[in-house]
Amino acid sequence: MSLAAFGHPPPGIPGCPVPFNLHIPSSEIHTLTTLVQHARIASPSFYNLHADPTNGTFGVSRDWLATAQQTWTDPSSFDWRSQEEYHSKFPNFVSSTQLPNQIIYLPVLSLFLSSRPRSRDTATPPQLA
């Protein structure tokens, strides 16, 4: 079954989602990369050297943060455009909600099936990278 069959929101969904294509301008990617590249990572300390994210002890480790910084700023390690391409394979929508003085836009990645599948075993959710 093609993903196009999943791109039709059922009637009655609050917020009236509309189709959305993920595209981040190159200037924004460059700005983010520059900011991450120049971000200062704290000096080694007891807490950031003994952090254990698996159980939440002391938060994120210094090594993990340094590795994440290196990965995000190295074009051969993380390719924004390939991530956009991957996520654009799925139907994307944007919905909005009204607050007293502002509108908040919410991107939604969801598979809306226009007809109910015969078996729950055949339903395959998307895996986000």
State the total domains in the chain: 2
4/40 same-domain check? no
Does 67 lie in the same domain as 39?
A: yes
> Which range of residues forms the domain containing residue 45?
25-78
16 and 30 belong to one structural domain: no
The Cα–Cα gap between 9 and 114 comes to 8
Report the pLDDT value the prediction gives residue 113, as an integer from 0 to 100: 54
Neighbouring residues of 93: CB distance < 8 A, sequence distance ≥ 6 = 9, 17, 18, 19, 20, 107, 108, 109, 110
Task: Give per-10-residue mean pLDDT for the chain (129 aa).
Answer: 63 74 91 95 88 78 91 88 86 82 79 53 53
Q: What angle do CA 26, 31, 32 make, to 5 degrees?
A: 100
My answer on whether 97 and 64 are in the same domain is no
Residues 31 and 66 in one domain: yes
Query: Residue 83 falls within a domain, yes or no?
Result: no
User: How many CB atoms sit inside 10 A of residue 63's CB?
Assistant: 13
- Token representation of residue 33: 């990369």
